[in-house]
Amino acid sequence: MAKASAANPRLIAAAAREVWRADRLGTVIAGIYQLLGATAALGVVAAGKLTFDALLQPGQAALGLTPALLLLATATALSGSISPLQTQQHRLLGERVSQRVWDRLLDTTERADLVTYESSGFATTLERIQQNALTRPFAVTAALLGLSGGMLGVVTLSAVLVGVEPLLVPVLLAAGLPAVALSRWASRTEFAFAHRLTAHFRRRNYLRQLLTQRPYAAELRAFDSAGPLRERHRLLNDEVNSALRGQVRRRQLIAALTTIGVAAALTAALLAIVELVRRGRIDLAEAGAAAIAVRLLSGQLNTLFASIGGLLESAPFLADLERFVTSGPPAPPKGRKRALTGGVVLDSVSFRYPGQERPAVDSVDLEVRAGEVVALVGENGSGKTTLAKIVAGLYDPEGGTRRWDGAELPAPDVRASVTVIFQDFVRYQMSLRDNIVISDGTRAGTPEEVAEAARRSGAHPTAGGLSDGLDTMLGRDLDEGVDLSGGQWQRVALARSLYRDTGLVVLDEPAAALDPRAEHELFTDVRSMLGGRAALLISHRFSSTRMADRIYVLDAGRVVECGTHDELIARAGQYAELYRLQSAAYR
């Protein structure tokens, strides 16, 4: 925390730069309002002096009482009307700053590789940043503008007061110092509070998602589990409330101490003015103008110190955000798509998830030649999906090599050259066409290409049955589309994989949601669907992978057997045993 405080000036300068970069014109306009505000405050003091003069020394006054009063009214009205204008301008600027911060955050999450993304530290930090840092830029924008406006006001009003009595200025300024110290204290308690509650907020958000989002609605109702989940939600609310009460009490104490400081300074300054009049150092008109100036200066100082406080309070959160957006690895270069002419070969590949003792994939040799259909079978947790992610370039092997046509390609090139459809593929709440073409942003597919992918994957009848064909919106999450059955969605995902048109396709349980007839058709006809592309098929249903050119049997991360279906049956090993068990279950 001390580190964050030490870095304050740098962070505040960085925050100012962010605001400027987010919207230059908006910043300039906001600056002009600040200038107008300070000028109007000066106008009030000057018009006040003229009014007092006209009242007290009608003979010598520069202006008559009526014009002086008119001037005072105008200046006061102007100074009052700037604030709502500023508020609206800050709204605009705040939105732009928040958009810029979001963009930086999304840049960071976009370039984080899958291993980083899946690590628990990443998710927690991201959550904390979303909770805190993303609402801060608006506060920082307002604080920065308040700071500049406040400084301008303080300088001009101080200049006026120096003309009357120089001593008044340091009295008022000194009162601000405790306010700054108190702000630093507030900032520390606020950051510690946010840190302490991040886990609570994550859990509470998760429960809110469970309780409100569509994918969970059916199971929650079937199990009648909303009640127990609400109970957990209530307990979390209670804990948040009790922590928040403590924090609010601390902040109220700080606010009270600040108010006492300001009141004391104001009293001291006004007493000083009375004393000056008593001693005959200033006349009554000057005293009146000085009282107005003191009142306005105190207001400006309040703004100034509140702004500094706001900036100090936001500094640790900004540091958190800054650390996060600069911590990630640099953006990987764009991958180059390669054709597959020879094959993909894994040689003694191992991979361990961070924090895990046992490798999920252990010294695996595997080969997929161009045009081949290769199957990975094995029980749950045997490492099939992890291996598929290595083949697809989503994870790099920790040990061993991954060769593409004989060369060890960088992961981005592998990713660009392989297509993967996961078991829990995404159901984009977009049009059917978008659901297909999203797999390849490098080309604007022609309607024929999209239709061809849909036809091969069997998604075409679905398209035909939809009111707007390929333009029909899919999914009900956004309340605007039609929902598909699990099997239909799976066909759409397959169409997506074919549209991308790479030499190797990895399909993780591609028939999990299909009915037995559709599954049978898919696997017996998989080669014509693939149109010559090589495929790595993952399945725990052994019957569906019989036709593969080669079958790898995984167990606890290792390849225990490999061969064609007939070879593996003849071998009478693990495959033969599991195959027999599954067939027996069907008979």
**Footprint on this chain of ligand ADP (rule: CB under 6 A):** 118, 353, 356, 360, 378, 380-386
Query: Which residues, including other chains, have CB under 8 Å from residue 381's CB and lie 6 or more apart?
Result: none
User: Rounded to whole angstroms, how far apart are CA atoms 114 and 108?
Assistant: 12
**Nearest-approach distance from CB 538 to ligand ADP, in angstroms:** 7
User: Rounded to whole angstroms, how far apart are CA atoms 150 and 166?
Assistant: 19
Pick 357 or 448: Cβ nearer ligand ADP:
357
Pick 383 or 503: Cβ nearer ligand ADP:
383
**Nearest-approach distance from CB 565 to ligand ADP, in angstroms:** 19
Pick 206 or 353: Cβ nearer ligand ADP:
353
Which parts of 57-166 fold into alpha helices (H)? 65-111, 114-118, 120-128, 136-164
**Nearest-approach distance from CB 228 to ligand ADP, in angstroms:** 27
Pick 118 or 480: Cβ nearer ligand ADP:
118
User: Rounded to whole angstroms, how far apart are CA atoms 13 and 147?
Assistant: 12
Q: Tell whether the torsion through CA atoms of 151, 255, 86 and 5 is positive or negative.
A: positive
Pick 398 or 405: Cβ nearer ligand ADP:
398
**Nearest-approach distance from CB 430 to ligand ADP, in angstroms:** 27
**Nearest-approach distance from CB 456 to ligand ADP, in angstroms:** 26
443, β-bridge pairs = none
Pick 384 or 533: Cβ nearer ligand ADP:
384
**Nearest-approach distance from CB 41 to ligand ADP, in angstroms:** 59
Pick 42 or 360: Cβ nearer ligand ADP:
360
Pick 470 or 537: Cβ nearer ligand ADP:
537
State how far the alpha carbon of 115 is from the alpha carbons of 127, 324, 352, in Å.
Answer: 17, 16, 10
Pick 456 or 550: Cβ nearer ligand ADP:
550
Pick 72 or 493: Cβ nearer ligand ADP:
493
21, β-bridge pairs = none
Written as six digits, the tokens of 238 are: 């209670």
**Nearest-approach distance from CB 380 to ligand ADP, in angstroms:** 5
**Nearest-approach distance from CB 367 to ligand ADP, in angstroms:** 19
Burial class of residue 34 in the structure, from the number of CB atoms within 10 Å of its CB (0-12 exposed, 13-18 middle, 19+ buried)? buried
485: nearest Cα among 469, 461, 453: 461
**Nearest-approach distance from CB 542 to ligand ADP, in angstroms:** 14
**Nearest-approach distance from CB 116 to ligand ADP, in angstroms:** 11
* 8 A C-beta contact, residue 456 and residue 491: no
Residue type for position 407: A
**Nearest-approach distance from CB 216 to ligand ADP, in angstroms:** 22
Residue type for position 120: S
The CA R_g of the chain, rounded to the nearest whole Å, is 35
349, β-bridge pairs = 364
User: Rounded to whole angstroms, how far apart are CA atoms 305 and 265?
Assistant: 14
Strand pairing class (550-555; 373-378): parallel
User: Rounded to whole angstroms, how far apart are CA atoms 340 and 572?
Assistant: 34
**Nearest-approach distance from CB 513 to ligand ADP, in angstroms:** 17
Q: Which residue has 């022609």 as its token pair?
A: 446
Instruction: Tell me how crowded residue 330 is: count the other CB atoms within 10 A of its CB.
Output: 6
Written as six digits, the tokens of 587 are: 């008979």
- Cα 124 off chain centre by: 12
Pick 175 or 507: Cβ nearer ligand ADP:
507
Helices vs strands, H then E, count in the chain: 21, 9
User: Rounded to whole angstroms, how far apart are CA atoms 46 and 75?
Assistant: 9
**Nearest-approach distance from CB 352 to ligand ADP, in angstroms:** 9
Pick 311 or 568: Cβ nearer ligand ADP:
568
**Nearest-approach distance from CB 559 to ligand ADP, in angstroms:** 12
Pick 379 or 525: Cβ nearer ligand ADP:
379
Pick 141 or 382: Cβ nearer ligand ADP:
382
DSSP assignment of 362-410, as one string?
EEEEEEEETT-EEEEEE-TTSSHHHHHHHHTTSS--SEEEEEETTB---
Q: CA 406, 412, 417, 419: dihedral to nearest 10 degrees?
A: 130
Q: Which own/partner pairs from 201-205 qualify as long-range (CB within 8 Å, at least 24 positions apart)? A: 201/127, 201/131, 201/240, 202/123, 202/124, 202/127, 203/232, 203/236, 204/233, 204/236, 204/237, 204/240, 205/127
At 559, which helix (H) or strand (E)? strand 558-563
Pick 118 or 231: Cβ nearer ligand ADP:
118
**Nearest-approach distance from CB 423 to ligand ADP, in angstroms:** 8
